[in-house]
Amino acid sequence: MDLDDPLPSSTSSPQEIKSALYARCASLPSETIFSQDDLLDLAIIPNNALDLLLQCTKKLTQEGLFKLLSRDGRAVWRVVKKEDAQKYKTLTADEALVYSLIESAGREGIWSRILRSKSGLHMTVMMRGLKTLENKSYIKQIKTVKFPNRKTYMLAGLQPSEDVTGGPFYTDGVLDDEFVHQMAKWAERYIVGRSWYQRPLDTRYHQQQPHRAQKSSKHHQASQQQMESKRNAALESPAFASRNSSDAKELLPFPPGYTGYPTIPEITRAINASNLSPVTMKEVEMKQLLDILVWDGRIEKNIYTNGYKAIRQAALAVIHGQRESADDNGGQGTVPEHGGRGSALTEAPCGRCPVLAFCEEGGPVNARTCEYFAEWLEI
């Protein structure tokens, strides 16, 4: 009976009323649960006759078109699609029991041990039923992230929930480290671009030639030359070579009250629009990536705007291409020093001196005869 047909009357047969009741219930969302009052409110049962309603629901349940459930100690029903009901007719009683338990598990799936406990079937009978259902493509075995060695089953037409698969960061139940790394790297670059004002660095401060102090002792002079050669070799390394580079950047903070720090929704929209991955990221998944960057000390959250700001040293590493080398060294990469004078520690010569380990009182490198202090203090 179509929904456009007139409602059944008191002279309609129970078969017509049953068909009308099923058609009306099937037109509603599939997850809808119907109580006795809900079925009567559909105005399908003439005169709200409870005995006729019971007759219809019993027949629909026997035909597999209604599934009888219990909620708060009361009987409720859920509609079953006709094609799904047809499957039960091809199954034995044991197979139908196994199938119904797997169906009730939904997208979470059900562990074979729990399936055996709920069904009460012998292991051999249950495994035979599972094999039959798999051969008919009614169910499938899936791998869960939390328990990859467990045999978990769900309906073949369903997709596992993210709690089962682990979301986009997992492939076949295995964490995709490269995908996580690339997505976090992109997100960090986006945050860096919204966290600091970048301008070309004035390298004149770094290009000044130091004034050499006069040495009185030949032994002292020789040791000083050795230390200078070590220092020059260190300054010629890649970490210091970009100090006078023409593309060096200086990071300046934005003024107080700046509200441009990107939030989770903004970062999520940006990374999805970038087409970096065919996977569409959700905000909850993006938050997991940002939490990793926060724990690594690369970004911080602004409690006033709920936006994220890149830490200055980490931002310098990203801008000057030092992040990859740092990751390869287990996070121990060298951050370039050409981002301005920085903090009080990095502004002082000791904070940048590559031979600080050799500096001691009376030694070839010491604070009393250090020409860089004189230059820094402009004495």
Q: What is the pLDDT of residues 261-275, one digit of tens each?
A: 999 999 999 998 888
Query: For 97-106, 198-207, 283-292, which range has the lowest pLDDT when averaged over its residues?
Result: 198-207
Interatomic CA distance for residues 180 and 185, integer angstroms: 8
pLDDT of residue 356: 74
Q: Mean pLDDT, to the nearest integer, of 326-341?
A: 43
Taking all residues of the chain, what is their mean pLDDT, rounded to a whole number?
76
DSSP result, 188-225: HHHHHHHHEEEEE--THHHHPPPPPPP---HHHHHHHH
Q: Is the pLDDT at 235 greater than 60, yes or no?
A: no
pLDDT of residue 257: 82
Q: Is the pLDDT at 213 greater than 50, yes or no?
A: no
Residues 300, 304, 305, 311, Cα dihedral to 10°: -20
Q: Is the pLDDT at 46 greater than 90, yes or no?
A: no
Question: Considering only CA atoms, which of 33, 34, 31, 30 is closest in space to residue 44?
Answer: 34
Question: Considering only CA atoms, which of 303, 205, 212 is closest in space to residue 250?
Answer: 205
Q: Is the pLDDT at 218 greater than 50, yes or no?
A: no
pLDDT of residue 343: 53
- Residue 14 — very low, low, confident or very high, per pLDDT cuts 50/70/90? confident
Q: What is the pLDDT of residues 365-376, one digit of tens each?
A: 887 888 777 777
Contact 169, 175 (CB under 8 A): yes
As a whole-number percent, the residues of the chain with pLDDT over 90 amount to 5
* Token digits of residue 1: 């009976």
pLDDT of residue 219: 44
- Residue 332 — very low, low, confident or very high, per pLDDT cuts 50/70/90? very low
Q: State the CB neighbour count (10 A cutoff) for residue 174.
A: 12
Interatomic CA distance for residues 192 and 262, integer angstroms: 10
- Residue 204 — very low, low, confident or very high, per pLDDT cuts 50/70/90? very low
Q: What is the pLDDT of residues 65-117, one digit of tens each?
A: 888 888 888 888 888 888 877 777 788 888 888 888 888 888 888 888 988 88
Q: State the CB neighbour count (10 A cutoff) for residue 127.
A: 15
pLDDT of residue 308: 92
322 or 38, greater pLDDT: 38
pLDDT of residue 155: 86
Taking the model in full, what pTM does it have?
A: 0.47
**Residue 308 neighbours by CB under 8 Å, 6+ apart:** 191, 195, 261, 262, 263, 264, 267, 290, 293, 294, 299, 300, 301, 302
166 or 182, greater pLDDT: 182
Q: Is the pLDDT at 169 greater than 90, yes or no?
A: no
374 or 240, greater pLDDT: 374
